[in-house]
Structure 1
Amino acid sequence: MHRRRTSLPPLTYVPVAEQPLRRVPQLFIGLALYGFSLSAMVRASLGVNPWSVLYEGLQKHTPLSFGTISAVLGVFVLLLWIPLKQAPKLGTVANIIILAFSSDLGLSLIPRHPDLLVRIGLLVGGVLLNGLSVAIYVGARLGPGPRDGLMTGAATKTGKSIRLVRTMMEITVLAAGWLLGGTVGIGTVLYALAVGPITQALLPLFTYRSADQALRRPAAPEKATAAE
């Protein structure tokens, strides 16, 4: 009776030619919101997300910049896609370009050193917006970014939920970044624990269902997906 609420079609890639006027803007909007969510958490100064903790930690041990480390790790994560049968798509390339632009734009628009109440609002809003943005751009099914491709690929491969896989990834990256000297705060912990459940809850609202899946759906109502 209640499976319809959490039922989710596969998060596999659907060709761009299918409903591009809906899905391409959804992809770009989701990525832009993701970049702004990162900016909000940075300006909150209460702890960055786990991947940023890792970038900071690696920055202390290499001559590379924060952005360069992000790009290098993105390539490394793409290599982990190989055993998961994942391949870069439009969304993967857009992830790199749009995130860089929207993050910088967000940092230029959000004032530095706001008071504590504003910082708390930026942190909570940033975490919520991050989970929402992941659901939006992954749901477009035009190919996830490097890190989210690892998340969806691992969920499909193992049969575990998006919520569990995402949370375990964030905690692992957080621990590695902290051991390397990255800064950790209450915001980091909140992000690591909350973004997976938020994404899990919102994915059914934004995941694109292709025409053939819509026709087949009534015939197999009991089939569970990796996101369940």
Structure 2
Amino acid sequence: MFLQIKNIPRVSWSSDKPLNLKPKISTFFFLWFGLILFGLGEGMLIVSASGASPWSVLAQGIFLNIGFSIGLITIFISIAVLLLWLPLKQKPGIGTILNALIIGVMIDVCIRYVPTPENYISQILLGAFAVLTVGIGGGIYLVANLGAGPRDGLMIGLQKITNLPIATVRGLLEISVMSIGWYLGGTVGIGTLLFAFGIGPCVALGLFLVNKFFN
């Protein structure tokens, strides 16, 4: 069952190592494809107006307590997460850099072209679809093995230490981040809860589908 997946699958187009500056065309394609889906999902969550992601809630909570801009705090959080990679022995790659670039562009595309639903139920449905899209996209780009983004790398490192299923590790991580952000004063919405509790299973589902249909 996909909820019990503990390792990132290796398929025919997976890179042998994250630090690969000359990956196969197919590997590079799936990296881009996965990150585009990932970014679309993040963008749809924002325009759904159903609630920010747990990490955004954390940034908001810190902002309310120390006063730096949310954008600057988000950068600091990313740096802190990357520093946590060191004891977890995670390695960056070109995917780590493209993660920030492509996802940022796709979020801007969504904000510009995807309208926010007027009906609250539609907003929640769009939020749920956004979480699923992030999970599927995450599964595709992680299997490329060209370097994870900060949060995904932390997830993989923690999984190796705990030997828990990826869905469980990601869920506990997001719920913890959301809880800290909420305690500090950040705003939690239905979309935040959908992301915190749903992203772990969705990433695991993405890994399962890639291993089954994209090998």
TM-score (norm 1): 0.80
1:157-190 per-position Cα deviation (integer Å, ceiling 9, x unaligned): 2211101110110011001110111110122112
Q: CA deviation at 1:196?
A: 0.7
**Cα contact 1:141–1:207 (8 A) shared by 2:** no
Alignment partner of 2:114 out of 85, 107, 110: 110
Alignment of 1:48-63 (within 5 A): 48-63=52-67
Alignment of 1:33-44 (within 5 A): 33-44=37-48
**Structure 1: 5+ residue runs without aligned partners?**
209-213, 215-228
Q: Which residue number in structure 2 is paired with residue 197 of structure 1?
A: 201
Change (3 A) 1:17 1:74: closer
Q: Distance in 2 between matches of 1:155 and 1:74?
A: 19
TM-score (norm 2): 0.85
Q: Distance in 2 between matches of 1:66 and 1:102?
A: 19
**Cα contact 1:8–1:207 (8 A) shared by 2:** no
Which residue identity does 2:140 align to in structure 1?
A: I
Change (3 A) 1:127 1:87: same
**Cα contact 2:54–2:178 (8 A) shared by 1:** yes
**Structure 2: 5+ residue runs without aligned partners?**
none
Change (3 A) 1:112 1:205: closer
**Cα contact 1:59–1:66 (8 A) shared by 2:** yes
Q: Distance in 2 between matches of 1:205 and 1:13?
A: 22
Largest Rg, 1 or 2 = 1
Cα RMSD, aligned residues only: 2.7
Which residue identity does 2:157 align to in structure 1?
A: G
Q: Which residue number in structure 2 is paired with residue 220 of structure 1?
A: none
**Cα contact 1:46–1:186 (8 A) shared by 2:** yes
Alignment partner of 1:45 out of 43, 49, 61: 49
Q: Distance in 2 between matches of 1:19 and 1:206?
A: 18
Q: Distance in 2 between matches of 1:50 and 1:145?
A: 16
Q: Distance in 1 between matches of 2:74 and 2:29?
A: 25
DSSP-derived class of the 1:81 partner: helix
Change (3 A) 1:8 1:74: closer
Q: Which residue number in structure 2 is paired with residue 89 of structure 1?
A: 93
Give % identity.
36
Alignment partner of 1:136 out of 140, 151, 160: 140
